[in-house]
Amino acid sequence: MKLASKGLGKIALPFRFTEARISEAPDCLVLEGIIKEKKVNWTYRAELEDSDLVNFLILARNPVIASYLADRVGLALFARFLRSALTLVLDLFRTSRIAKSRSSDVGPGEPGVRTEAGES
């Protein structure tokens, strides 16, 4: 993705999602990093809310986008998409299992406090 701003003049900066540091805030995901391009050294911070992430997934289903990518990437895109989709499903499953196991580790005497043996 390229970012442009009137303050940058005619420069369009490359924004690479894969190079961002991603952290979780209470109400969003935070992408942070530095774009170093030409004469620009720009620190950025982007906050993605739940609806933004859902909209990215919905946008990816658009036939115009699928056609655009197929024309430029071909069948390699399909393999990458399947691998990414499978990884997403497995990560969601793993995260769900971890959350469930953590909630079962809470001792009955102290709500919200876990002990090593799962007892309070």
Mean pLDDT of the chain: 75
pLDDT of residue 99: 65
User: How do residues 60-73 score in pLDDT, each as one tens digit?
Assistant: 778 888 788 778 77
Please check whether residue 73 is in contact with residue 66, taking contact to mean a CB–CB distance below 8 angstroms.
no
- The whole-angstrom separation of Cα 58 and Cα 53 is 9
pLDDT band at 104 (very low <50, low <70, confident <90, very high): low
Task: Determine if the pTM surpasses 0.75.
Answer: no
- The whole-angstrom separation of Cα 68 and Cα 55 is 18
Is the model's pLDDT at 31 over the cut of 70? Answer: yes
- The whole-angstrom separation of Cα 83 and Cα 95 is 18
Phi, psi of 23 (to 5 degrees): -135, 165
pLDDT of residue 116: 46
Q: Taking residues 79-99, what's their average pLDDT?
A: 75
pLDDT of residue 21: 93
